[in-house]
Amino acid sequence: MTTPFGEAIRKIRRERGISQKDMAKALNVSAAYLSALENGKRGQPGFDFLQRVAGYLNIIWDEADDLFRVAAISHPRVVVDTAGMPASYTAFANALARQIHALRPETIRQLAELLDSAPKTGEKRP
């Protein structure tokens, strides 16, 4: 399994014919670290690392923004803070944590669409 960031980096690296070893050396990280990022075994990369990646790959502004966006949603271990929310929210978050591995891709897509259409933080609920 991987993360959105891992998929994006691997795709760009392969399209440009760059090996993990060469990219890792240029970024001053180990090949094992880069591999772990690509394979979703490491958490969200830091801002400094993201800037080095963008510079090394000579990524333009829009592509860099996309890369930073996918990095922000790529932490493989997520904490959901339901403190102060109704008990049903806490129960739902726990049920999702227990069962997410068993959900079909179609179900994940439907849930993502539902979340995308929900009011964003700070917006009032209907």
pLDDT given at position 124: 52
Integer Rg of the chain from CA: 17
| Residue 119 to residues 10, 88, 108, 123, Cα–Cα distance (Å) | 33, 18, 19, 6
- Local confidence band at 48 (pLDDT 50, 70, 90 cut-offs): very high
Summarised one tens digit per residue, pLDDT across range 75-87 is: 878 889 999 999 9
For the cut 90, the answer to whether the pLDDT of residue 122 exceeds it is no
Summarised one tens digit per residue, pLDDT across range 18-30 is: 999 999 999 999 9
Rounded-to-integer distance, Cα 39 and Cα 33, Å? 10
CB neighbour list of residue 95: distance below 8 Å, 6 or more residues apart:
none
Rounded-to-integer distance, Cα 12 and Cα 66, Å? 12
For the cut 90, the answer to whether the pLDDT of residue 119 exceeds it is no
pLDDT given at position 123: 53
Summarised one tens digit per residue, pLDDT across range 58-68 is: 988 888 889 89
pLDDT given at position 49: 93
- Helices 61-72 and 47-56: crossing angle, nearest 10°? 140
- Average pLDDT of the chain is 90
